[in-house]
Amino acid sequence: MPPAEGGPLRGSSAVTVVGGGVLGLTCALELARAGHRVQVLSADPVQDTTSAVAAALWFPYRAAPVDAVLRWGAASLAVFTELSADPSSGVVLRPGTVVHRTPEPDLWWAAGIPGLRPATADELPPGAPAGTRCTLPVVEMGRYLPWLLAACSAAGVDVAAARVTRLVDLPGDVVVVAAGLASGVLLGDDTCVPVQGQVVRLADPGLEDWLLDEDNPAGLTYVVPRGTDVIVGGTAVEGANGAEPDPRVEAAVLERACALVPALRDAPVLSRAVGLRPGRPTVRLDRTVVDGRPVVACYGHGGAGVTLSWGCAADVAALVSSP
């Protein structure tokens, strides 16, 4: 719940959050709910952030370390499951299939997922040898990000447009850096690299189930229906920083997806996009001191920013509130 009216709580801090994507806004909301006075500085409008490009199926893709990712993911899964009862949030629980192409797949991500079971033959896409069925949150970012922004506003968070180049210039008792790829630059961390992802948005031909095929020999493939549209991907090109869709890549992505989900073959293209995931060997979530002031870092989530957002935001709030 938002802080009670009547001013900040005892022990509250003035916190500046750098980053207006899903992680920055979720951290800001949790900090405001903990009684802090929060300002978010975002280089881009929320609809132009990398978060807006995400297919946003709950799944801890390209994120480490495992123990922390499982904990953050479980916390976020619980919140998204609760939010699915609110149509305005854009969160829907959908069944789907994770395709397996090895005899003993590593289901490290599956701890605590309710209803997990092997896929039956008639639930597998053409050519897939095996799979796991489960129901997971799908977060429609076109609705969820405005919902999150509105929740921040209702909690008293001030969101302003600003491109931050130096932390020393920022106001506040504490700074939270949750700005995706820009975080590494601000904190002098050269381990943060772009992981380019290209997607295409199709009209939904009436699909009910999502599909994830990480081990497809032709390349990463996912199909995430959202009721009126379907997000189809994808790519994960480490080090690539181009932001324009490549028609040849799109053709290959669509061919892979249509081979697995033939119903997509005649679906009209609604839009296309490229996002640069903030890749890092591990998620960085820690508290340090920069120029004499506490700085909490929260970045490097790879392809799992949405998936880990609520769990990481809870840890950020705990670090900001710690003595």
Query: Is the pLDDT reported for residue 76 higher than 80?
Result: yes
pLDDT band of residue 2 (cuts 50, 70, 90) is: very low
State the residue for tokens 């209803």: 115
The helix or strand, by DSSP H or E, that contains position 76, with its residue range, turns out to be helix 66-83
- Compute the chain's Rg from CA coordinates: 20
Of residues 101, 109, 25, 17, the one with CA closest to residue 63: 109
Calculate the alpha carbon distances from 210 to 44, 121, 242, 313 in Å. Answer: 30, 16, 27, 27
Instruction: Give the separation between CA 31 and CA 13, rounded to whole angstroms.
Output: 9
Query: Is the pLDDT reported for residue 238 higher than 90?
Result: yes
Task: For each of the domains in the chain, give its residue range(s) and CATH number, in order of start.
Answer: 14-321 (3.40.50.720)
Of residues 149, 141, 146, the one with CA closest to residue 26: 149
pLDDT band of residue 11 (cuts 50, 70, 90) is: low
Calculate the alpha carbon distances from 174 to 26, 29, 217 in Å. Answer: 16, 15, 46
Query: Is the pLDDT reported for residue 171 higher than 60?
Result: yes
Query: Is the pLDDT reported for residue 202 higher than 70?
Result: yes
DSSP H helices in 193-298: 247-260
Please give the span between the terminal C-alpha atoms of the chain, in angstroms, as a whole number: 23
Instruction: Give the separation between CA 19 and CA 14, rounded to whole angstroms.
Output: 16
State the residue for tokens 């009547």: 6
pLDDT band of residue 1 (cuts 50, 70, 90) is: very low
Of residues 197, 247, 187, 249, the one with CA closest to residue 218: 249
Of residues 133, 150, 143, 165, the one with CA closest to residue 52: 143
Whether cis (ω within 30° of 0) applies to the bond prior to 65 is yes
Q: Is 226 exposed, middle or buried (0-12, 13-18, 19+ CB in 10 A)?
A: buried
Instruction: Give the separation between CA 159 and CA 42, rounded to whole angstroms.
Output: 7
Express each pLDDT in 156-170 by its tens digit.
999 999 999 999 999
Query: Is the pLDDT reported for residue 9 higher than 60?
Result: no
Query: Is the pLDDT reported for residue 7 higher than 70?
Result: no
Are 21 and 49 contacting, i.e. CB atoms less than 8 angstroms apart? yes
Instruction: Tally helices (H) and strands (E) across the chain.
Output: 6, 15
Dihedral, CA atoms, 303, 309, 315, 318, nearest 10 degrees?
A: 150
Mean pLDDT of the chain: 94
Strands (E), the chain: 14-18, 37-42, 91-100, 117-118, 130-139, 158-161, 174-177, 193-203, 210-213, 221-225, 229-233, 237-238, 269-279, 284-290, 293-299
Q: Quickly count: other Cβ atoms within 10 Å of residue 30's Cβ.
A: 22
Query: What is the structure's pLDDT at 89?
Result: 98
Express each pLDDT in 89-137 by its tens digit.
999 999 999 999 999 999 999 988 988 999 999 999 999 999 999 999 9
- Residue 274: phi and psi, rounded to 5, are -125, 135
Query: What is the structure's pLDDT at 323?
Result: 81
